[in-house]
Structure 1
Amino acid sequence: MADLRALFSSNDPSGVQSAEAFTNRQLQWSLVATALGEHLQAIAARGFDVEDLEHPRNNVIAFYGIGGVGKSTLLRKLEAALTAADQRPQQWATAIGAGERLLPVRIDLSRSASTGTDFERVVLTIRLALAGAVGRPLPGFDLALRRYWDAQHPGEPLEDYIRRTGLMGKVGQLLPDQLQAAVSEVAGSLQLPGMIGSAAGQVATALVHALRERRERAQALAGAARTAALLEAEPDLEALSYYPHLLAWELHHLPAKKKVVPVILLDTFEDTADRHRDLERLLQRLVWLMPGAFFVIAGRNRLPWGEAALEGQLDYTGPTAWPGLTPRAEQPAHAAGGRRQHLLGDFSTADCDSYLARRLTHEGQPLIGPDIRAVITERSHGLPLHLDLSVARFLEIRRTGRMPVAADFDHTFPALIARTLSDLTDDERHVLRSASLLDAFDLDLATRAAGLAHQAPARRLVERPMIGEDPYAIWPYHLHGAIRTALQSDDTHTPDRWTPADWNQAATRALAALGHQWQHSDRTAATGDRAFLVACLRQGLRLARDHHLNDLAWLTDAAFAYIDDSVWEPIAPPTPAPGTGPAADTPADALAEVLTAISRRQHEHRDLTTRRLSDVLAAGLLSDELVQLALYYRAKADKDLGRTAQAMDGMRQVAASEGRLASRARRGLANLARIHGDFPTALSILPGLGWKGRQHRVHGDILWPQGDFTAAAHAFRQARDQAEQHQAPGERAIVQTRLALGTAFTDPVRAQDEIALAHQLLEPLDQRATVLLAQIAALVRDAGTDHAIADRVSVLRAQIDVAGLLWLIPLLETALVFHHAVRDDQGELTAAITRLQAATATGDFAYYVDIAHYMADLPLPAGSAVRWLEDPELIRTRWRRLVMDRRPGIATV
């Protein structure tokens, strides 16, 4: 089919070739073919009774989806395929067969497409289509219809009405003639006086009398058992809605050569629904009373006929009446009587590109280039309406004399919003705009974001196809991407559009609603408290950033909850390195950058972490509490880089603030004292640390360098028990890895299990330094037995250097010293000690040099300043004993 808009967009009618490109809807073709094939089998079965009003109905298939998803196009293509057998997909031949005469009747119920569309027009359209296909009167129905027409339209001939309303078509005049012929046929059969033959009312009355008297000729003429009752009823709209029962009987009893199966395509079905469902009730009655016809219904919303909740509003409701339309039909779509209601989804990326490439062509080649097609596809989120609007934009730009470029289509369309909002109530539109601020939501979140006191509008909204659902997500609902983008960026032409202040207030409400859910909802059992925290943080930070909300409210508490357990899930997409992207300009930007820098340090060099945090601190956008957060993690990164003076300064500032991180900062000071070799000072800080300062873990770190592995293991186990009590998997993995390291020195057999447990606990986490520490523990376990240990050390050294975790290098070299000491390889031992001395030349971790000399039974170098907790000779004895105890195990290696 030619695109007239494209044809009239250029002075060269042959230059641009356009066609209505129909993207592959393979699934929908198969669904219709299967359902229609099953319907044909059902009506051909011996037990089929067209007058049975109690049997469940499966003569309908429904497609629903958001405006612009391609429902009308699908129905037009179905109409064409049903009209011309050569346009049918191959799979239809098997499902439908070639022997059936199928009559497609497509009716657009859109109020805008046909002013005054009503049930009367629907009935006339169906009968008019049959007039040409059957080519003969249908006496019982035609007499009833003519009687109705004469009563409801006195003085207006039917042919004039058909001509005036555009129903004429090439067979338009057949219907009035056939209706008149039906009246005459009944009058003649009943041998009525000549003048009475033109009065349908009098003929109907005579036929009723004849039927009541059980005259054989009248019964043969009327056929349907309920004909008399229908002809006696007042010929009003209510009676008209029951006349299709007569039509169904007539069609079923046609001679074989005249038989036809109507396939009635009802488009834009959402325009039939109102508060009272008056028109929908009449249309549903039509479907029920014509079980021999097959109906394809398309609309924006699900057909609710299979739900018992509509009882009293419609005649036939519930899963028993419509088994295929139930909300949770359990039968597979391909089974007989199976699911008959389907969401018409978006196009795939490949389908979008194919559609755009075939929509406009020039000399057989796509007129829309691949770069433009890629932009349109991305912005469309698969919505066909967006593709059509983009094609129109392409033609409009081209008409001005300029060739369109990709940047022209980084664009949203007001028409998307108009189509979306057209059939929503005021409250539903309010909830929709509020929900568009959220990446995902539930009923409570959407209601609170909208500032409403009741959930009914949100509940109605989530039943619309523009809302996607993932029942396994933290928040199950999300708005279609194209509609969400259009609402947020181009809602400037609707009568009830929001002002910037409205959007800001809604963002404030949405942020508060997220905070309320995080602080009050019990999500632990369903999704895990940690996952819910991260989800709230991601949405909250984006809301605060996009709408420049300076009051971070609950986000500060959530940020501290996030860093509490050292798990480090991504909070936001990685941000550009300083100097390569825009600087943070809101408090939310600054907080997001802090949390991103903290989590990304597991994948970046620690020097980048310090620079990112320094830049955020320099911007001055953080509150006092969040300044302490940035200072603390910058000090930790400085410690990892061996910048002990800077780390000490940062930790002192945070400890002096007596804020939330004061205990952690004091722990940092204890660790820095240990790093300096000042163990008594480190030990003196312990009593004030408690759980928040990880007191037992710090104690174990102080004890094992003394060679007191028994006491250190006890401290680490206490720390692990505390972590389990506080449900802190990150801390549990850290202390388990330290326990594995200590055990690796003393009992390599048992260390195997401890290291395996450490890796198991680390698997779901993102702790790069602890993973590397576990690998060092494995080196210690294998000391003296692994001839390839030097290669393992080289790989680890490179990984440590890439990560910027320089504090691990002295420990790595100490593990290598242990290996060579066990093997008594003096040459390698000397080289390893030399490297260790170079790695600790600043004085940090110098106690590893002393430990190396203890293991090798060598005198200490001059100038050792390590302050041990016990007599250095006792510590020497402990470390030397570890080496000697390991040697018998390598005798045969």
Structure 2
Amino acid sequence: MADLRALFSSNDPNSVGSDEAFTNRQFQWNLVAVAIEEHLRHIAGPSFDVEDLEAPRNNVIVFHGVGGVGKSTLLRKVETSLTTAEQRPIQWGAPAWAGEEILPIRIDLSRSASNGSDFERVLLTVRLALAAQVGRSLPSFDLALRRYWDAQHPGEPLEEYVRRTGLVGRFGAMLPQQVQGAVSEAVSALQLPGLVGSAAGQVASALVTALRERRERARALAGCARTADLLEAEPSLEALSYYPHLLAWEISRLPAKHSVVPVILLDTFEDTSDRHRDTERLLQRLVWLMPNCLFIISGRNRLPWADPALQGQLDYTGPAAWPGLATPAGQPAQIAGQGSRQHLIGDFSEQDCDAYLARRLTTQDGQPLISPENRAVITARSHGLPLHLDLAVARFLEIRRTGRTPSVEDFDHTFPALIARTLSDLTTDERHVLRSASLLDAWDLDLATRAAGLTHQSAARRLVERPMVSEDPYAIWPYHLHGAIRTALRTADDHAEDRWTPADWHQAAERAFDALGRQWRDADALTSSRALLVACLRQGLRLASAHHLADLTWLTDAAFAYTDDSVWEPLAPPARTSRPVPGAGRQPEGDTPADALAELLDAIARRQHEHRERTAERLTAVLATGTLSGELTELALYYRAKAHKDLGRTAASLDGMRQVADAGGRLAPRARRGMANLARIRGDFPSALAAVPTLGWKGRHHRVLGDIRWPQGDFPGAIVAFENARAEAEQHDAPGERAIAQTRLALACAFSDPVRADDELALAYQLLEPLDQRATTLLAQVASLVCDAGTDRDVTDRAAVLRAQIDVTGLAWLVPLLATAQAFHHAVRGAQDDLAATIDRLREATATGDFAYYVDIAHFMAGQPLLQPSTTAWLDTEDAVRNRWRTLVDERQRHLNARPS
């Protein structure tokens, strides 16, 4: 079918080729084909009885999905494919029921259709289709219909109604003729010559009498067991809703040459529902009373007929009545697919979107009119929603009609029509929750309700049943909005009557922000969930940035909690954009406290993947903004001081650590630890040791002590300290610190006990695997080299590779440690030339005076005198330290010599 909008977009109708492009829905067609095949087998079986009103029904298949996802297009294509094989897409293939007479009947129930939800119109449409296909009267139903019509539409002949309402078509005149034929047939069969066409009521009474008297001719004419009861009932709309039972019976007794299996497609089913379900009740009776017809229903929402809670609102409810519509026990609705006969219509893939746009509009020679660049941006903005594609095509034609060639910028656009389609069938509370939830990446019922400022969850509960909401039951927050709809709600003009003002959006952002903080604080008191912390940080930072929330409240505490454990999950900070945000106008780039905090945390986390020089530069820039609070300023100062330490800038690092320690805030213990480490780096071990009792757990006192002990050659003391550090980290449920302590324990064992070191290293790598600790991972690799010192396991080559990795990271403090590991290897092997070269490199790496004690240690291991007096202040005498390190080399040599050859 040609696209008339495209046809009338230009004075030259031949300049644009257009078609109602249909993207492959082969999976859905397969579902329909299987359903029809199963239905045919069922009604052909010996146990099937069209008059059985108690058997479960499996004669319905449901396709539901968000508005604009292509449900109506699918049903139209299914209808044409069932009507004419030539119109069926090639990839769909031929159905297994070839030879059966399938009669597709599509009925649009939308409110936009004329009288779309009128049950009379629905039933007349079905009967009209049968009139065209069968070409004969269906006596019991037709007589009942004629009696109803005379009672409910006095003075309006059925043929006039069919003509006036547009039901008339090629075969429109057949229906009134066949209905009148049924009356005449009854008059003739009952031998009632005194009655004529307009006396349907009298004919019905006579037929009832004949049926009650079991007259053979009457039973042959209308022998359904319930015909008499239906003809006796008051001809009201309620009675009309039971007449489909007669229609089903008539279809079942058609002779073979007229036999037909109706497939009734009810489109836009959501428009039949109201809070009393009156129209839905009538349509459900139609489905239940016609078990020999297959119904394909499409709508925005799943069909809840299998829900026992609807008992009393509909006639037939529960999983026993509708087994194909029931959700399997113990499975979330969207995961289970709402039963074997309920199917969610998904979005188009990127490839499908591109193919659709390429075929939708073409040049005269058949080439795609929409350029690949424009198709790409339309596809990205659509999130796979077909309605967005159609709106983009319309926009393309509008721009082209002005004489301008559409550009990529024209489609970086969201359409208000998406909002109108989304909000059309929601209640006021549901719309309120929807807008509030659109501010969040993901949410649960409690979060959405609090963001909306409501005191009850019922609106949120109803909203999550809508197909515009996707569910991942295994996520922290299971629900999220369809991407295209969420973008439209947040960025497009909302012309609804209850649209929000900028102040409304801002207040909703504040409510959502506070709700996130409340969830984190409440959960933190109970479970201290790291995953929830990171998720709240990500959403909270984006909300605070987009809506210029000045008071970061809980975000400050969350930021410190994030940095406490050295895990460093990526936070994906808010994208720097000038796109308008509801309630906030067009946003300048990075000028809010939340932007500064996001940059601060990202710089801290990304230092695991960036050179420490870059980390220092980013933190300096954040500090220069002046938008951080006092505590967050201390956080930036502390991590910049750490970066300076890693880069070998001891003086700058000490200055930053001292500022943080003097402030006396929550980072003071860590800053004092940093100062103790800097004293150790300068070789002032007594000062470093004196600081340990002041550090406590927050200052990682056991780990600092271990780092002081092992350079003295006191490996038993270091191992005990690192074991204590690991145990304390376990007590505080701090996996990041536990991995750090374990890696240092492995390093101490690598020098003193290589057998044990293998196991400790294995555990260290296991603990590091789920974390993002690049420096500690490199330290573990150094420990692995120490463990293999003296062997022929490519220690030298591995050290060269490791040195390159260290240089990339900017972790200068690892360079002298790596050289010390190499010196140990050469000392154990007795390779004096290699050892001398390594000591020279070590002396060069420590020329600033930092880590100069490693040069002393290398000489101690080699049994060589120092070339000049040491500047290191050891905890014991220099001779005691020398003897421990030389003994360590001797023990490693004995260990290697004792190994079996």
- Select between 314-323 and 484-493 the one with higher mean Cα deviation: 484-493
Q: 1:478 to 1:213 in 2, by over 3 A?
A: same
* Matched residue, 1:317: 317
Q: 1:800 to 1:575 in 2, by over 3 A?
A: farther
Shift of 1:218: 1.3
Residues 688-707 of structure 1 mapped to structure 2, 5 A cutoff: 688-707=694-713
* Matched residue, 1:300: 300
Q: 1:329 to 1:392 in 2, by over 3 A?
A: farther
Residues 276-287 of structure 1 mapped to structure 2, 5 A cutoff: 276-287=276-287
* Matched residue, 1:356: 357
Question: Contact (CA 8 Å) 2:574, 2:598: kept in 1 or not?
Answer: no
- Decide which of 668, 676, 679 is 1:670's aligned counterpart: 676
What TM-score do you get using the length of structure 2 for normalisation?
0.96
Aligned residues: 885
Q: 1:613 to 1:583 in 2, by over 3 A?
A: farther
- Select between 97-106 and 655-664 the one with higher mean Cα deviation: 97-106
* Matched residue, 1:383: 385
Deviations 1:618-677 (CA, angstroms, capped at 9, x unpaired): 000100000000000000000000000000000000001111100000000000000010
Q: Return the alpha-carbon distance in structure 2 between the equivalents of residues 573 and 503 of structure 1.
A: 21
Shift of 1:54: 0.4
AA aligned to 1:461 is L
* Matched residue, 1:221: 221
* Matched residue, 1:481: 483
* Matched residue, 1:764: 770
Q: Return the alpha-carbon distance in structure 2 between the equivalents of residues 288 and 282 of structure 1.
A: 10
* Matched residue, 2:405: 403
**1:430 correspondence with 2:461:** no
Q: Return the alpha-carbon distance in structure 1 between the equivalents of residues 340 and 369 of structure 2.
A: 41
- Decide which of 780, 795, 809 is 2:786's aligned counterpart: 780
Residues 55-134 of structure 1 mapped to structure 2, 5 A cutoff: 55-88=55-88, 95-115=95-115, 117-134=117-134
Question: Contact (CA 8 Å) 2:82, 2:103: kept in 1 or not?
Answer: yes
Shift of 1:582: 8.6
AA aligned to 1:282 is L
AA aligned to 1:350 is Q
Q: Secondary structure at the match of 2:476?
A: coil
Q: 1:798 to 1:864 in 2, by over 3 A?
A: same
AA aligned to 2:516 is L
Q: Return the alpha-carbon distance in structure 2 between the equivalents of residues 4 and 89 of structure 1.
A: 22
Deviations 1:280-299 (CA, angstroms, capped at 9, x unpaired): 00000000000111111111
Question: Contact (CA 8 Å) 2:328, 2:339: kept in 1 or not?
Answer: no
Q: 1:739 to 1:43 in 2, by over 3 A?
A: same
* Matched residue, 1:831: 837
Q: Return the alpha-carbon distance in structure 1 between the equivalents of residues 719 and 848 of structure 2.
A: 29
Question: Contact (CA 8 Å) 1:648, 1:669: kept in 2 or not?
Answer: yes
Give the gaps of 5 or more residues in structure 2: 577-586
Shift of 1:786: 2.5
Q: Return the alpha-carbon distance in structure 2 between the equivalents of residues 816 and 665 of structure 1.
A: 32
Q: Secondary structure at the match of 1:297?
A: strand
Shift of 1:193: 3.2
Shift of 1:574: 9.6
Question: Contact (CA 8 Å) 1:329, 1:338: kept in 2 or not?
Answer: no
Deviations 1:304-344 (CA, angstroms, capped at 9, x unpaired): 111111000000001000000113379999x9x97111011
Q: Secondary structure at the match of 1:2?
A: coil
* Matched residue, 2:460: 458
* Matched residue, 2:241: 241
Q: 1:742 to 1:116 in 2, by over 3 A?
A: closer
AA aligned to 1:241 is S
Question: Contact (CA 8 Å) 1:110, 1:271: kept in 2 or not?
Answer: yes
* Matched residue, 1:591: 597
Q: Return the alpha-carbon distance in structure 2 between the equivalents of residues 246 and 90 of structure 1.
A: 38
Q: Return the alpha-carbon distance in structure 1 between the equivalents of residues 603 and 835 of structure 2.
A: 39
Question: Contact (CA 8 Å) 1:29, 1:89: kept in 2 or not?
Answer: no
Q: Return the alpha-carbon distance in structure 2 between the equivalents of residues 490 and 222 of structure 1.
A: 60
Deviations 1:557-585 (CA, angstroms, capped at 9, x unpaired): 10110011100000115989xxxx99631
Q: Secondary structure at the match of 1:875?
A: helix
Q: Return the alpha-carbon distance in structure 1 between the equivalents of residues 457 and 520 of structure 2.
A: 19
- Select between 882-891 and 229-238 the one with higher mean Cα deviation: 882-891
Shift of 1:126: 0.8
Q: 1:159 to 1:360 in 2, by over 3 A?
A: same
Give the gaps of 5 or more residues in structure 1: none
* Matched residue, 2:568: 568
AA aligned to 1:738 is R
Shift of 1:346: 0.5
- Select between 381-390 and 820-829 the one with higher mean Cα deviation: 820-829
Question: Contact (CA 8 Å) 1:108, 1:267: kept in 2 or not?
Answer: yes
Q: 1:524 to 1:3 in 2, by over 3 A?
A: farther
AA aligned to 2:553 is A
Shift of 1:679: 0.6
Q: 1:93 to 1:751 in 2, by over 3 A?
A: closer
Q: Secondary structure at the match of 1:365?
A: coil
Q: Return the alpha-carbon distance in structure 2 between the equivalents of residues 91 and 575 of structure 1.
A: 42
Q: Secondary structure at the match of 1:588?
A: helix
Residues 737-886 of structure 1 mapped to structure 2, 5 A cutoff: 737-786=743-792, 788-886=794-892
AA aligned to 1:410 is D
- Select between 363-372 and 565-574 the one with higher mean Cα deviation: 565-574
Question: Contact (CA 8 Å) 1:523, 1:532: kept in 2 or not?
Answer: no
**1:146 correspondence with 2:146:** yes
**1:495 correspondence with 2:501:** no
Shift of 1:196: 4.6
Q: Return the alpha-carbon distance in structure 1 between the equivalents of residues 620 and 390 of structure 2.
A: 49
- Select between 601-610 and 106-115 the one with higher mean Cα deviation: 106-115
Shift of 1:117: 3.6
Q: Return the alpha-carbon distance in structure 1 between the equivalents of residues 173 and 799 of structure 2.
A: 94
Q: Secondary structure at the match of 2:182?
A: helix
**1:629 correspondence with 2:635:** yes
**1:521 correspondence with 2:523:** yes
Q: Secondary structure at the match of 1:654?
A: helix
Q: 1:320 to 1:92 in 2, by over 3 A?
A: farther
Q: Secondary structure at the match of 1:721?
A: helix
Q: Return the alpha-carbon distance in structure 1 between the equivalents of residues 372 and 459 of structure 2.
A: 42
Deviations 1:718-757 (CA, angstroms, capped at 9, x unpaired): 1110001111111111111111111111111111111111
Shift of 1:198: 3.3
Q: Secondary structure at the match of 2:264?
A: strand
Q: Return structure 1 stretches of 4+ with deviation > 4 angstroms.
A: 89-95, 329-333, 522-525, 573-576, 890-893
Residues 132-171 of structure 1 mapped to structure 2, 5 A cutoff: 132-171=132-171
Q: Secondary structure at the match of 1:194?
A: coil
Residues 40-55 of structure 1 mapped to structure 2, 5 A cutoff: 40-55=40-55
Q: 1:574 to 1:795 in 2, by over 3 A?
A: farther
Q: Return the alpha-carbon distance in structure 1 between the equivalents of residues 884 and 91 of structure 2.
A: 82
Q: Return the alpha-carbon distance in structure 2 between the equivalents of residues 489 and 93 of structure 1.
A: 42
Question: Contact (CA 8 Å) 2:846, 2:852: kept in 1 or not?
Answer: yes
Deviations 1:585-617 (CA, angstroms, capped at 9, x unpaired): 111111111110011000100000000000000
Shift of 1:171: 0.9
Question: Contact (CA 8 Å) 1:50, 1:249: kept in 2 or not?
Answer: yes
Shift of 1:177: 0.9
- Select between 3-12 and 81-90 the one with higher mean Cα deviation: 81-90
* Matched residue, 1:708: 714
Q: Secondary structure at the match of 1:61?
A: strand
**1:682 correspondence with 2:685:** no
Question: Contact (CA 8 Å) 1:33, 1:92: kept in 2 or not?
Answer: no
* Matched residue, 1:29: 29
Identity %: 73
Question: Contact (CA 8 Å) 1:36, 1:96: kept in 2 or not?
Answer: no
Question: Contact (CA 8 Å) 2:751, 2:787: kept in 1 or not?
Answer: yes
Question: Contact (CA 8 Å) 2:542, 2:574: kept in 1 or not?
Answer: no
What is the root-mean-square deviation of aligned Cα atoms in Å? 1.9
AA aligned to 2:168 is M
